[in-house]
């Protein structure tokens, strides 16, 4: 955890030495910081109901709040608490906040400690308050109903990253005297770009420069009584006297959630189904197989760990967002120790590949350690590697049994799973899409059709669109070798690492099996162009060779067990740029047609995040990743 930029004064007030200003008002009474958050920001934006007037967010499907300075999170906690307390609250709360210098989790807790009602919320937030490197972070809270998107950047760099209109704006930060950049006309202009007529704004300052900038950029501004020691506060409404050009992303499906049908019951299809069902959709999931996770998602066990690169490439940033999303989902749905475990993962850097990017400063290096750090001898030696072996320790790594995650996601009451339903094609109807089997008989109808059937998506998409839309997908065959722990040779038992190891392949052991017997698993091969999920002796030999490079001593000792190993194989789907394809193919030509494929060997890492990206596109929600990454995932990028 990174050192905090907070200095606590003797009276308990949090102070920021960088700007020589306090984070919030002093005291804990009725005039204290929680009261200030409620009265200045929530009431100022019309979000506190009274006996005569409902809150502005009442009975809305979703509400998006934008804050310019997260600080110690008190405004967010107050908004979350008010949302919980309002029986007419919106179904989902999206809170986007900007913070250039995140505080520590301990400071979040300390700030909220005087307020009993906020403590459990601060604790839930603090448990996810990790790895806050520069960039965009999505923290999902309160049974996936509250979505905090934190932009770790200065405000002028962060605001252009947001492309979703705000319903309420909390203009907060250190004083204009201490931090004039936060209140500049350029910042106000960037905020106005994210407002639509009627968006409410509130702030504690009544500085003339701020009032003038707000009025200049289309806000109707008025002073309101403040809480002592402040005499006044500002309330504003975006009411421009000129036509507003829309600078934000529109929802693909503006109507209320309806019916969706998904072809494919693997990690991608189940994640998309879960994300839509949680938003009120009625979802049918069809698959040709008799059981879910019959393809590559049926891997007996797999790892999640971030990709690293010296330049912190897009895939590295995407993988961190994916790991965070998958860990949040696993905590919520899976049985710890049986379905998954956050053990950490050691990456043996065979041939010195995958170096970490250089940290800009000590704080960044400490946040990076929540994700990945150079491995020391406490990690290498217990793994039967030389003390100075080149290795990375992924503190956030975990093993997961993918089929368990698939089944739990499909268990949502809004999802109907149908196996033994091979889809031949689909045709457009007045209401949406109708799926047909090989005989031309209808299988299902829905408003939205999502193709999430791995490599088979390529052929089905061509069939559905009359070959007018295609994906340059390629098959990637993979075979793993596995067996019971009881068959591990005695010479190998003393060499087993205490945690999973990856790098040149991967090795896990002690994973609870379906019958209660633990097993080990090794792999995988990467065989391009092979479309049949066959198990071969050559695949076992290739996996043994991988283990002998990954963990040389263990590889030699495990050779007899691998000769007798069981095999499992599947065909994954990859795309030329190594990024998945998620979203609409071409909404102008094929409205309601989406794909979710190309996860390759990163299905566990990216599928949950991909489902949320798909839902964000449908609903016009804030992206759970930076817009540049969201753009890199768009399925339409392959259309000409």
Question: Is the domain of 222 the same as that of 148?
Answer: yes
Q: Residue 552 belongs to a domain with what CATH number? A: 3.30.9.10
614 lies in some domain: no
320 lies in some domain: no
- Are 319 and 306 in contact by the 8 Å Cβ rule? The answer is yes
C-alpha 223/C-alpha 209 separation (Å) is 14
308 lies in some domain: no
316 lies in some domain: no
Give yes or no for residue 378 having a pLDDT over 80.
yes
Question: Is the domain of 488 the same as that of 468?
Answer: no
Question: Is the domain of 466 the same as that of 505?
Answer: no
Which of 142-156, 187-201, 224-238, 268-282 is predicted least confidently? 224-238
Question: Is the domain of 535 the same as that of 456?
Answer: no
The pLDDT confidence band at residue 2, using thresholds 50, 70 and 90, is very low
Instruction: Please name the residue that has the structure tokens 């210098």.
Output: 101
Q: Residue 598 belongs to a domain with what CATH number? A: 3.50.50.60
Give yes or no for residue 504 having a pLDDT over 90.
no
Query: Residue 28: its pLDDT value, please?
Result: 60
Query: Residue 497: its pLDDT value, please?
Result: 98
336 lies in some domain: no
Q: Give the closest residue to 104 by CA, choosing from 123, 85, 126, 121.
A: 126
Question: Is the domain of 26 the same as that of 95?
Answer: yes
Q: What is the DSSP string of 129-177?
A: -----SEEEEEEETTTTEEEEEEES-HHHHGGG--S-EEEEEE--S-TT
Question: Is the domain of 466 the same as that of 486?
Answer: no
What is the token pair recorded at 427?
A: 């045709």
Question: Is the domain of 148 the same as that of 282?
Answer: no
Question: Is the domain of 481 the same as that of 459?
Answer: no
Query: Residue 351: its pLDDT value, please?
Result: 66
On average, the pLDDT of the chain sits at: 93
C-alpha 143/C-alpha 120 separation (Å) is 14
310 lies in some domain: no
Q: Give the closest residue to 572 by CA, choosing from 302, 186, 242, 252.
A: 302
325 lies in some domain: no
CB-based contacts of 33-37 (< 8 A; 24+ apart in sequence): 33/74, 33/111, 34/74, 34/78, 34/115, 34/118, 35/227, 36/204, 36/227, 37/74, 37/75, 37/77, 37/78, 37/79
Question: Is the domain of 139 the same as that of 203?
Answer: yes
pLDDT digits (tens, 9 = 90+) for 117-151: 999 999 999 999 999 999 999 999 999 999 999 99
The pLDDT confidence band at residue 1, using thresholds 50, 70 and 90, is very low
Backbone angles phi, psi at 635, to 5 degrees: -65, -30
C-alpha 52/C-alpha 447 separation (Å) is 39
Neighbours of 386 (CB within 10 A): 12
Give yes or no for residue 601 having a pLDDT over 50.
yes
Question: Is the domain of 364 the same as that of 489?
Answer: yes
Q: Residue 186 belongs to a domain with what CATH number? A: 3.40.50.150
Query: Residue 610: its pLDDT value, please?
Result: 98
What is the token pair recorded at 177?
A: 């005297």
- Distant-in-sequence, close-in-space partners of 449: CB < 8 Å, separation ≥ 6: 260, 261, 263, 426, 432, 433, 435, 464, 592, 593, 594
According to the per-residue pLDDT averaged within each range, which of 1-10, 15-24, 248-257, 389-398 is highest? 389-398
Give yes or no for residue 555 having a pLDDT over 80.
yes
Query: Residue 31: its pLDDT value, please?
Result: 58
Number of domains in the chain: 3
Under DSSP, is residue 291 helix (H, G, I), strand (E, B) or coil?
A: coil
What is the token pair recorded at 499?
A: 């945690």
Q: When comparing pLDDT for 183 and 360, which is higher?
A: 183
Cα-Cα-Cα-Cα torsion 201, 97, 243, 252, nearest 10 degrees, comes to: -130
Domain hosting 205: range is: 7-238
Q: What is the pTM of this model?
A: 0.95
Question: Is the domain of 11 the same as that of 137?
Answer: yes
Question: Is the domain of 186 the same as that of 266?
Answer: no
228 lies in some domain: yes
C-alpha 393/C-alpha 497 separation (Å) is 13
pLDDT digits (tens, 9 = 90+) for 243-274: 887 767 778 877 789 999 999 999 999 999 99
Backbone angles phi, psi at 515, to 5 degrees: -90, 10
Give yes or no for residue 180 having a pLDDT over 60.
yes
């Amino acid at each position: 955890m990174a050192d905090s930029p907070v200095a606590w004064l003797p009276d308990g007030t949090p102070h920021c030495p960088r700007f020589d200003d306090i984070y919030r008002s002093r005291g804990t009474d009725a005039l204290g910081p929680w009261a200030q958050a409620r009265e200045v920001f929530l009431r100022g934006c019309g979000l506190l109901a009274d006996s005569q007037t409902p809150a502005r967010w009442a009975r809305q499907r979703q509400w998006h709040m934008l804050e310019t300075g997260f600080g110690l999170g008190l405004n967010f906690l107050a908004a979350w608490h008010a949302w919980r307390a309002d029986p007419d609250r919106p179904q989902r709360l999206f809170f986007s906040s900007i913070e250039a210098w995140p505080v520590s989790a301990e400071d979040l807790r300390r700030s909220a400690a005087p307020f009993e009602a906020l403590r459990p919320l601060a604790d839930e937030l603090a448990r996810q308050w990790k790895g806050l490197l520069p960039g965009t972070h999505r923290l999902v809270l309160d049974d996936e109903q509250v979505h905090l998107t934190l932009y770790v950047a200065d405000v002028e760099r962060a605001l252009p990253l947001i492309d979703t209109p705000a319903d309420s704006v909390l203009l907060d930060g250190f004083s204009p005297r201490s931090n004039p950049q936060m209140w500049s006309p350029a910042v106000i202009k960037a905020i106005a770009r994210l407002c639509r007529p009627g968006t409410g704004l509130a702030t504690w300052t009544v500085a003339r420069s701020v009032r003038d900038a707000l009025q200049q950029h289309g806000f109707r501004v008025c002073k309101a009584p403040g809480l002592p020691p402040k005499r006044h506060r500002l309330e504003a409404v975006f009411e421009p006297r000129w036509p507003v050009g829309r600078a934000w992303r529109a929802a693909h499906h503006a109507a209320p959630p309806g019916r969706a049908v998904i072809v494919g019951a693997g990690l991608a299809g189940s994640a998309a189904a879960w994300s839509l069902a949680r938003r009120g959709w009625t979802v049918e999931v069809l698959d040709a197989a008799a059981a879910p996770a019959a393809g590559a998602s049926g891997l007996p066990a797999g790892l999640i760990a971030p990709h690293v690169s010296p330049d912190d490439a897009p895939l590295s940033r995407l993988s961190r967002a994916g790991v965070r999303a998958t860990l949040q989902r696993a905590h919520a749905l899976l049985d710890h120790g049986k379905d998954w475990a956050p053990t950490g993962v050691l990456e043996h850097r065979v041939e010195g590949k995958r170096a970490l990017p250089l940290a800009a400063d000590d704080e960044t290096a400490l946040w990076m350690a929540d994700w990945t750090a150079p491995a020391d001898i406490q990690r290498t030696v217990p793994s039967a590697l030389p003390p100075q072996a080149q290795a990375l320790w992924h503190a956030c790594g975990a093993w997961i049994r993918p089929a368990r995650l698939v089944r739990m996601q499909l268990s949502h009451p809004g999802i109907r799973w149908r196996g033994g339903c091979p889809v031949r094609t689909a045709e457009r109807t007045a209401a949406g899409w109708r799926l047909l089997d090989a005989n031309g008989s209808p299988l299902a109808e829905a408003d939205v059709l999502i193709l999430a059937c791995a490599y088979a998506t390529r052929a089905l998409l061509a069939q559905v669109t009359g070959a007018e839309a295609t994906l340059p997908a390629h098959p990637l065959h993979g075979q793993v070798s596995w067996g019971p722990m009881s068959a591990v040779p005695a010479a190998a038992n003393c060499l087993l690492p205490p945690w999973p190891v990856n790098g040149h392949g991967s090795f896990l052991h002690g994973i609870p099996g379906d019958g209660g017997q633990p097993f080990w698993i090794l792999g995988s091969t990467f065989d391009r162009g092979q479309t049949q999920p066959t198990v071969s002796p050559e695949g076992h030999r290739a996996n043994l060779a991988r283990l002998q490079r990954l963990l040389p001593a263990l590889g030699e000792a495990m050779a007899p067990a691998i000769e007798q190993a069981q095999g499992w194989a599947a065909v994954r789907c990859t795309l030329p740029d190594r990024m998945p394809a998620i979203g609409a193919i071409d909404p102008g030509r094929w409205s309601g047609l989406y794909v979710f494929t190309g996860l390759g060997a990163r299905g566990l890492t990216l599928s949950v995040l991909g489902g949320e990206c798909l839902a964000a596109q449908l609903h016009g929600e804030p992206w759970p990743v930076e817009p540049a990454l969201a753009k890199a995932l768009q399925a339409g990028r392959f259309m000409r």
